[in-house]
Each structure stands twice: as structure tokens, then as C-alpha cells.
Structure 1
């Protein structure tokens, strides 16, 4: 039986479940700290009998957070939200929760804490999401100075909510929006071609979820990484337009791409606020105004010994359900 113990907060989430799988495959006992342990039962088969154990913990509650990290050598915080709902808001989850986990891990004597943040975390950002991520990083650093912070770009994989969302939309919608910041502009002094898409919208550096999980384990494995921040991006930078074109080519569908300025996207988000789970929020529109790519000279996957995985090698394996049945097989 394995004797090493790791606690994963947010283990039922997209990144968290892959992290649990990676830990279990390497012989770790994994305590999955979640609000609904019964709902996390699907994680148990990722390990041997009693190797993966879901336990109750609410990261905004100090007592349950302390109990969840007791005896753990490694602690991972993979909890994050993209939209706010009631008490599940950016401040509670990204700041207060992150601080509680870091404080509890330090008090429990954990050797390593890996905190998963996001590319674009910035205390001066117009986006509340990005500001809360930056505040969470600062709180983690204050409570656990040797913590390793990982900032992934847009994460893709079988359960992602980004590639899958656009593929699903393309299965019934004849048009797809490309939110642009510099489109609809005539070149200076010219009256000819109008570059409707500008540079193609927000630039992204999609990173495979398996690479993020691998990076988290690599970060925890060496004391050389203590106290460092790593930005994780895939091997290619693509515009939103290029990404949509890749998705359409993968699933064999032809759709009209429509350039929409962010002002229109902001109006759409305002109208969608009445929906219980809006597909676009005004805060997300603010995020789209800035490229989501790793910074130059910032340590990344290569520094953690992880070879980045290309989009083209992964997405065909999980977008099959959206494929046009009449498209020719290539």
C-alpha cells in the first residue's frame, strides 16, 4: 500500500480529476477535498481500493480545510470558477479560499503546496476574475512562501468547457462569432479591402490538461521549484479565429464566421445576465480584450520537464460526437 499522502482541493474539476489520476498512477494516496464527497465517487476507480478517498471540505471554511490537509505531504489547490453564483464568487473562492488552503497547508507541515492560478492574473486588470486570481496568488505567497504557482492559459481536453462549447455551438448554429478588438477597420488612407477580422481576435496558447497535471506533479517533486511561478502554454499561439477554423475542420463542418467587436459582445453579455448560466459575462468580455499567452522569459512547461502537446493531436479524439456524419473522412 502506498504511504505518501496528497490532498487535492477541487479534485472533481476539469484539472483536478486529471491531477488525481496522475497522483494515483504514481502510487500516492489521494485525499480529494470537495463539497460533495458522494458526488466524487467516480474518482475512486482511478486508484486501487481506498487509494483515492473523497472527503468533505469547503475552502471558505477554515476548520474543514485544516482537517483535509492533516498529514498530507503535498497539497494542491485546483479550485477555480469562471462565473460567480451567490456565495461562490471570485473573492470567496480565489482569495479567501486560496488563503485558507495555504494557511492550513503551512500549519499542517506540508512539504509542498501547488496553487493553480491562471495566465492573465493581474491586480490592475479590468477583469474582476483576473484581479481575484492575482489577489489569491499574493495571499498564497504570504501564507506559504515556498508554494509553487502555476498559471495555465486556456486548458483543453475531453471535459473542457471551451473547445467543446464552440464545437457544440457549430453543430446547430450556421454562424460562429469571432470577438475582435481591431476588426471592422479600413487601412489608413485606403478605401479598398476592409480587414473585418483584424488580427483574428484574442490570441490564445491552449495547453493540454494532461500537461498541466504533469507540470503540477513536476513542480511538487523538486525543491528547486519552491517559491516560483510558472506560466503554462501549449506549443502554438492561435487567434480565436484560427481556433474556430481548426475546430470546424476537425469536425467536418462549414460555418460562417462573423467578426463582432467587443462592444457588441458586451451588450450580448448584459442581455444574458438573466440566464441561470450565461454563456458569456461582461467580465469575460473584459478578459477577451487581452491576449491569453505566456509571458516572454517566464518559466514554463519546459522548465518543468514537460513537452507541450499540440491541439491537433488531442481534439480529434474527443470532438467526434460533434462531427458532421456526411463529411468525407480524411
Structure 2
């Protein structure tokens, strides 16, 4: 099936206003699809409407923790994406409720609605045996997807970077007010950062390639870095010198716990679960289907991150995301 087959088809994107979802919405609009963005707070998705022609992008309320809202959002849909996920827990947004229960609800409702194909955004490292709740519930979500829609496509990206990311931006911002950046357990953990635009293109092709059905794709960028190398790249890009301080994860967790329980006016810089995740390599498995199988050459971080991290330089400017 070619991209043109999406013309005038109704595609529901759960979490379409999120970091990855907005790039997927842009690509679907370009293919002539009618896009229904299903999110908890519809007012936060209004910026997506100008991406398409009048009426091409519809914003509806849906909460993956509430099955009836998911079923309503999928009425009449031809295809669907699940881009819903959280990096840290807060209030009713718990890992199990959103990433495990919510994913299964979407798959069950999609099957009942007669949706032809579902693409689910998971993560490299999804593992039921992981000590990380994030990774455990990502694995549970995949199992829920396969239970109801075994032909669905699962995408497992490594750390995703882009103008709105929660990785390079987080550490670049941290470098603005601390004298040192922590290298958790020495900073030797391996990562394969992948550009958000490439993940969105993979998501589009996964929906439209019959050969992708039922497969799990591990999406890693063209280069593997250690965590320490990524911190150096961040500092070089924002033109700041900071000490890189090796710190055992076990020593950081009590501090992270304090950040988690205090009613701070800002988001905790790091959580205990994220420290646990940083202790495991995050690279695509050798031999697993990936970008090459979807006909995509992923782009490196160098030459891209400069365009938005410039605002963290002394006297830096601002960026305008292009969703490309």
C-alpha cells in the first residue's frame, strides 16, 4: 500500500499533540489523510489545526485510562497510532495506567472499531523483567497490543531528540545553573539517539507498508554514544564548560526521591526510575528490523541539535520548530 492510499482516510492519533505525535500528524496531513487527534486536554492541541486544510485536523477529548472515551475517538477510523507515554509519574498519570492499561485499551477498542492497522510507539529497553517501571510497563503495553491486534506494528526508538525533547534540552538547561553535570555510574551507558522527524517518517511508512505488519522495529540513530559523550556534545553545542562528575546512581536516588515528593514549582530534573533506566544500554538489538527495513537513513545529532540548543548559549536566540 502506498502513501497515497491514506488520502481521505481517517487516522486517529492518540497523544497527537505530544513530542512525537505532532510530527506524525504533520506527515499524515501531507498525505491527504483526515486526522483526528485524541488527547486528554483538547485545548492543548489547537496548534495542530493550521497544519491542514480547514476541517482536516480534528481535536477530540480522550483519556486512555477511560475506555469509553477511547472507543468514541475511534468511531469510523481507518487507522490509528498510539503515541501516549510518560517519562515520569504524576497525579493519576501512572506508568501502569498509561503505558500498560492504556495501550491495551487502545488495541481492544481499535479491533472492535474495525481499524485496519495500529502503530504503537514503545521504546528500546521495553522489558517485563527490567528494574525500571517505565521499561516494565512499556513491555506490558506491547503485550496488550499484540493480544488484541497481533498484526499491529510496534516501534521501539532509542532516546528521541528534537526541538521539544526531554534529553538534550534537559541537560542543556541544567548546565545553565549547576557547576557540574552528573555522569551516572561513570557515564558509560550506551545510547543511539534518533531524530524525532525520522521516527515520524518510520511511523508513516510502518502504517503504509504491508511488509511491516506484525513486526517490531528497533529504531536507533546512525551513531552510538556513551552518556558521557552525549554530555560533552551538549556542552560543546551550547558553548559552556562544566565539570562532568561521575556519581553512583545509588547516591543520586535519595536526592531524586526528595525532588519527587516536594511540591516544587518546576519539574523534577531527574527521577529515581530515570536513574535506573540510565544504568542500562539503550541501543538497537543486532539483527532486529529497523530503519533500513523501512527505507530510511536516520540523521545524526550533530548538525541538528545546534538549531534549537542555540538558545542555551550566552546571548542565544530562539528556535521555530518546523516539524520536519
Residue 216 of structure 2 is aligned to residue 225 of structure 1 = no
Residue 265 of structure 2 is aligned to residue 307 of structure 1 = no
Residue 252 of structure 2 is aligned to residue 265 of structure 1 = yes
Structure 1 partner of 2:276: 286
Farther off after superposition, 211-220 or 67-76: 67-76
Residue 81 of structure 2 is aligned to residue 91 of structure 1 = no
Q: Partners of 1:159 and 1:275 in 2: how far apart?
A: 25
- Cα distance per residue 1:257-296 (max 9 Å; x no partner): 1111111122222222223432222111211111111111
Q: Partners of 2:307 and 2:228 in 1: how far apart?
A: 21
Aligned residues: 308
TM-score by length of 2: 0.92
- Cα distance per residue 1:141-189 (max 9 Å; x no partner): 0011100000111000000011001111112322111112xxxxxxxxx
Residue 74 of structure 2 is aligned to residue 62 of structure 1 = no
Residue 131 of structure 2 is aligned to residue 126 of structure 1 = yes
Q: Report deviation, 1:245.
A: 0.7
Q: Partners of 1:15 and 1:3 in 2: how far apart?
A: 22
TM-score by length of 1: 0.90
Does the CA contact (< 8 Å) of 2:170 and 2:269 recur in 1?
Answer: no
Structure 2 partner of 1:323: 313
Q: Partners of 1:3 and 1:129 in 2: how far apart?
A: 36
- Cα distance per residue 1:14-57 (max 9 Å; x no partner): 01111111111111110000111122111101111111110011
| Secondary structure of the structure 2 residue equivalent to 1:273 | helix
List aligned pairs for 1:189-200, cutoff 5 A. Answer: 197=186, 200=187
Structure 1 partner of 2:201: 214
Q: Partners of 2:178 and 2:315 in 1: how far apart?
A: 16
Q: Partners of 1:63 and 1:256 in 2: how far apart?
A: 51
Q: Partners of 1:262 and 1:171 in 2: how far apart?
A: 22
Q: Which runs of 5+ in 2 are unaligned?
A: 1-6, 317-324
Structure 2 partner of 1:184: none
CA RMSD of aligned residues (A): 1.5
Asked which structure has the greater CA Rg, the reply is 1
Structure 2 partner of 1:109: 114
Farther off after superposition, 142-151 or 200-209: 200-209
Q: Report deviation, 1:325.
A: 3.9
